[in-house]
Amino acid sequence: MAVAIGRAFAIQPCFSSSLCSLSENINKSSFAAYTFLPAKPRNIRCTPVVVHAQQRPTWLPGLDPPPYLDGTLAGDFGFDPLGLGEDPESLKWYVQAELVHARFAMAGVAGILFTDLLRVTGITKLPVWYEAGAVKFEFASTRTLIIVQLLLMGFVETKRYMDFISPGSQAKEGSFFGLESALEGLEPGYPGGPLLNPLGLARDIKNAHDWKLKEIKNGRLAMVAMLGIFVQAAITHTGPIDNLVEHLSNPWHKTIVQTLANFSSYSK
CA angle 57, 58, 64 (to 5 degrees): 110
Binding positions for chlorophyll b are 103, 183, 263
- Closest-CA residue to 223 (of 66, 108, 95, 128): 108
Whole-prediction pTM value?
A: 0.71
Evaluate whether 106 touches 222 at the Cβ level (below 8 Å).
yes
Q: How many CB atoms lie within 10 A of CB 184?
A: 19
Backbone phi, then psi, for 73, in 5-degree steps? -80, 145
Residue 235 to residue 267: CA distance in whole angstroms: 10
Give the per-residue pLDDT at 175. 64
For residues 264 and 5, the model is more confident at: 264
Q: What is the pLDDT of residue 6?
A: 40
* Spatial separation of the C-alpha atoms in residues 3 and 188, rounded to whole Å: 86
Q: pLDDT for 90-110, tens place per residue?
A: 999 999 999 999 999 999 999
Across 124-133, average pLDDT: 89
pLDDT for the residue 179: 67
Q: Which residues are annotated as a binding site for chlorophyll a?
A: 98, 101, 214-215, 218, 220, 232, 247
Q: Which percentage of the chain shows pLDDT scores above 90? A: 36
Query: Mean pLDDT, the chain, as a whole number?
Result: 78
Q: Of 77-91, 127-141, 170-184, 214-228, which range is least confident?
A: 170-184
Q: What is the pLDDT of residue 2?
A: 42
Residue 267's pLDDT band (cuts 50, 70, 90) = low
Query: Given this model, what pLDDT does residue 162 score?
Result: 84
| Residue 185: Cβ within 10 Å count | 20
Positive or negative CA dihedral for 122, 126, 129, 131? positive
Binding residues: 98, 101, 103, 183, 214-215, 218, 220, 232, 247, 263
Which residue type does 17 have?
S
Residue 80 has pLDDT above 70, yes or no: yes
Print burial letters for 216-232: b (CB count within 10 Å at least 16), e (below 16): beebbebbebbeebeeb
- How far, rounded to the nearest angstrom, does the alpha carbon of residue 102 sit from its chain's CA centroid? 13
Rounded mean pLDDT, 32-55: 51
